[in-house]
Each structure stands twice: as C-alpha cells, then as structure tokens.
Chain A
C-alpha cells in the first residue's frame, strides 16, 4: 500500500536537492548553513523513524540552532532575467500553465477517480493519504513533462527549487515545529488547565453569555495554540457539552459544528497558524510578515459575529 512513507522518501529527496542546490549557489555567502538546514530535514524525512525520539529531539534542536543563529541566507543570482522570462513567456505561450496545472489536476481528478470507482477496493493507496499521494504523483508527472518539453539544464529544477526555498527560509519548518509544540502542550496538561480556568468563570443562567464565552474561548484558545483542533475538545468539555447542551438544552450538532467554525476565525488572526499566515507572507515575498493576518482580520471578526448569531439562534431557538 502506498502511504505517507513513500511521500517521505520523495520529500527527503527534494530536501536533499535543496541542500545540493544551495551549495551550488556561490553568490550565497551562508550556503553552508542552508545546506546543513536542508540536509537535516532530508535526514528527518528519510530516517526519522530510525533515529529514535531523543535522536529526533536533537535533530530539532540543531535545525532551530541553525535558524536562530542566523546561518541561513540566500543568493543574489537570478537564473534568468525578467526580459528573458518575458521572451520565454511569449515563446511558450499559455501552454506554460499546463505543467503547473498538472499538479492540482492529478490530485483533483485522481482523488475523485480513486474514491468513486472500484479502484478504492484494491487498497493501493492509504485512504488517509489519497490526495497527498496523488499530489506527489502530480509533482513527478509535472517534472517529467517540463523536462521533456522545455529541455532545461539538468540541475535547473534543483537550483530553482532551492532558490524558492531560500527565499522562504526558516518559516518552511515553522508549521511542523508548532505542531510539535502542540504535542508538548498536550503532554504538560496545558489544555486541561485552560479548561479548568474557563469552567471557573462561567456565568449562570444566561444562555447568551455562555454562548459568547464559548465562542470567544474557541477564538482565543485557537489563537494561542494556532489550531482549532487543539482548542475544540477542551472548550467542548468545559462549556459546550456541560453548559450549552446539557444545562441549557442546545442543539449539539450546531454547538459542535459552529463552535469549531468560531475557532477557525481565530486561526485567521494568529501567527501561530504559521502555514496559513506566516509562510504565505514569506512565499509572496511580502515585507510585513503579518500582512496576511492584517488582510484577514476584518473577515474573521465579521464571521465571528455571524457564528455567534448562528450558535444562539439555530442552537437554541430553532
């Protein structure tokens, strides 16, 4: 069965490629740091399961040390000038979109075909990883198509990939680091503590106040953890189920679904949700690393009010 581990082999190869590509860029004074950073990540993808928990812990500290000591840089060399790119763009025309679209198309059509035909019964792909596995296939197909058609220099995908990776820099691993922080928070009992704290300030007798506390609790706890999934079980156990469902007789489906969606409003407003908020700012080369959050805050606040209204009206009055 093709599962996540196959993708880890591919991802390890890509990160090893970034290490090689960084070394090849002599305009980057810090290229050794970049190569070590990607080399460690390649090691993690390939051999993470063999390193043991402590070994992985040391690897994490080494990755953090490289980033924290400012040992990451990027080169100044552009492979092709803006003019050359305009020229290529004219020459290849709209067909340039095809390889780029191969990736989402393979993932999209592939997932539908796999899930809704007898292929699913063959057990070829791990059901939990279908779209990601097909995304990986899409990347491989797109690379083959691009090489066959554009005939670029052999190592150019490695060079160009590491150029982009170096432009992004340390935010690349921030989401994975935050997920590990979540594991520590859970092990140290942070969730239970917050749940107890919230339970101790619950107002009595007012459904509206309890709804407000539940929704704002989801938002604030999500902003702290960077993830509504970590906040939901805690808030559901502290307020959602004992107060809103059992004591006040709310509709559990609404309390559950819209409670989670209130948490998503928090996700839009926190740097802790790095893969949604900080990474794109780096990827789009924005000067303000909080620019994406700033753009989202008005939508998030209006949607929070909408969710509170739905919780109160649909949860208790329909």
Chain B
C-alpha cells in the first residue's frame, strides 16, 4: 500500500499560493507538515530543513550584484539605457528582445549561464531598453503596457536560458539525465543527449521570436 499522506504537503503549497499567504510561510509550513506526515520526528524535520537551507546557499549568491547595480542606477544607468535606444533607428521592443533571446541562448549553449540574468542584465539594461523602444515607436505607454513589456523582457531571459543550456555538455541537467539513465544500465554520453536539445532550442527561438514580433504589432494597436 502506498502512503499518500506526504502528498498533503503539496496540496498545502497549492492552496497557500492560491490564497496568497506569504509564500515563505506557506513553504515552511508545507515543509514541516510533509516531514511530520512522512514519519519524521519534529527535530529531524527542523534539522533537514536547516541542512537543506545551508546546502543551498549558493542559490542566493546572485544578490551580491545589487550594490553595483544600485550605485550605477543612482548615476542614471536606466536613463542611459533608454537614451541609447531612443537614438537607435529601427529599434522596436520585439526586435530588441529577439536579439537578447539569441544572445542568451547562444551564451547558455556555451555553458555561460550566470553571465546574464534578471538582476545582472534584465533590470538594469534589457527591461528599460525594451520599454524605451516601445515608447519611441508608440509614444508614452500606460502602466499596464509598461508592465507587459517588462514581463516579456523577463520571460525572454528565461526562455533563452532554458532552451539553450542543455546544448552545453557539462550542464547539471545533462549530467543528471546521464546519471539517471546509467542507474538503469543505459549508457549515454553527454554528447548524445545534448544533440537532442538542439531541435527544441531552434523551435523555441522561432516560437518565442514570433511572439515578440506579435508584441510589436499588439503595442501598435494599443497606441
């Protein structure tokens, strides 16, 4: 008989997110409930949570870029990003983001994932540039439209990384696939796996790129 009780923790997360409780609170509660339902004593749950948090500190390292970005914003970095785009002929939000998508996919395929990202490049450069390009083409935008363009900038960064990184041989996910397969006696090389990431990467560029061109047209209709 399978013990389904630990799955209640998942239900807690879904309900907690849907009801918009503070996500940190939701996640901590779900962690403790799941552990207890999985027959772990409370101190063991607390220790596992603490151990997991400590082992995953590298996830939060990226915030070391904030002092630099903040300092440069104080001296007008975002304004500068907008000026550059305003002086560029033929720049549209969609075209700019397509260039960024290609750049991000290619870098990720070379294994250079932390080179760009939301704190490093999207907030200080890509998002203000995309908004400036849209404003240059369509005049002053309302808040909702600015939000759409900014959200699309962040989305483009994610799509670029996700559908680029697996082309690189030594990325964690390729090594994980290789390891999982090997534990069932199926021997694969990273090369065999990463080759099969290429068709999806090309399709992702075409699909998301088309959506970015549609964004330009949609902005045109709103203006």
Contacts and interface: CB of A to CB of B under 8 A. Distances in A.
Nearest to B11: A224
B159 A177 contact: no
A152 interface: yes
Contacts of A245: 186
Contacts of B138: none
A202 interface: no
B48 interface: yes
Interface in A80-132: 80, 82, 84-90, 92-94, 96-97, 99-100, 103-104, 107-108, 111, 129, 131-132
Interface in B150-187: 150-155, 157-159, 162-163, 166, 172-174, 176-178, 180-181, 184, 186
Given A103-B65, A165-B66, A54 B50 contact: yes
Given A184-B48, A185-B9, A190-B10, A232 B211 contact: no
B53 A299 contact: no
Interface centre among B127, B143, B192, B204, by most chain A C-beta atoms within 10 angstroms, is B204
Given A152-B74, A253-B188, A292-B154, A11 B64 contact: yes
Given A108-B107, A157-B70, A257-B196, A224 B10 contact: yes
B180 A61 contact: no
Contacts of A1: none
Contact of A108 (B80, B112, B188): B112
Interface in A182-215: 182-185, 187-190, 193-194, 196-197
A194 B177 CA distance: 19
Given A44-B54, A257-B166, A271-B17, A87 B74 contact: no
Contact of A256 (B54, B125, B172, B188): B188
> How extensive is the interface on chain A, given as a class?
35 or more
Contact of A299 (B17, B154, B155, B157): B155
A227 B43 CA distance: 26
B43 A184 contact: no
A153 to B, nearest CB: 10
Contact of B35 (A89, A143, A177, A184): A184
Interface in B21-66: 22-25, 27-28, 30-31, 34-35, 37-38, 40, 43, 45-66
Contacts of B9: 184-185, 188, 190
A183 B55 contact: yes
A148 interface: no
Interface string A158-173: 1111011100001111
Given A48-B57, A275-B59, A104 B151 contact: no
A295 B116 CA distance: 20
A135 interface: yes
Interface in A268-312: 268, 271-272, 274-281, 283-284, 286-288, 291-292, 294-296, 298-299, 302-303, 306-307, 310
B79 to A, nearest CB: 4
A27 interface: no
Contact of A229 (B43, B71, B176): B176
Contact of A257 (B48, B61, B107, B197): B197
Contacts of B53: 44, 48, 56-57, 59-60, 176-177, 179-180
B195 A253 contact: yes
B102 interface: no
Interface string A1-41: 00010011011001101100000000000000000000001
A190 B34 CA distance: 9
B135 to A, nearest CB: 15
A13 to B, nearest CB: 9
19 contacts: A11-B61, A51-B54, A57-B46, A58-B50, A100-B77, A103-B120, A177-B24, A181-B31, A188-B9, A189-B3, A193-B6, A193-B7, A253-B192, A256-B177, A264-B162, A268-B159, A281-B154, A284-B123, A306-B203
Interface of B: 2-4, 6-7, 9-10, 13-14, 17, 22-25, 27-28, 30-31, 34-35, 37-38, 40, 43, 45-81, 83-84, 107, 111-116, 118-125, 127, 143, 147-148, 150-155, 157-159, 162-163, 166, 172-174, 176-178, 180-181, 184, 186, 188, 192-197, 199-200, 203-204, 207-208, 211
Given A57-B51, A82-B79, 7 more contacts: A18-B66, A89-B76, A135-B62, A139-B68, A177-B24, A187-B35, A287-B143
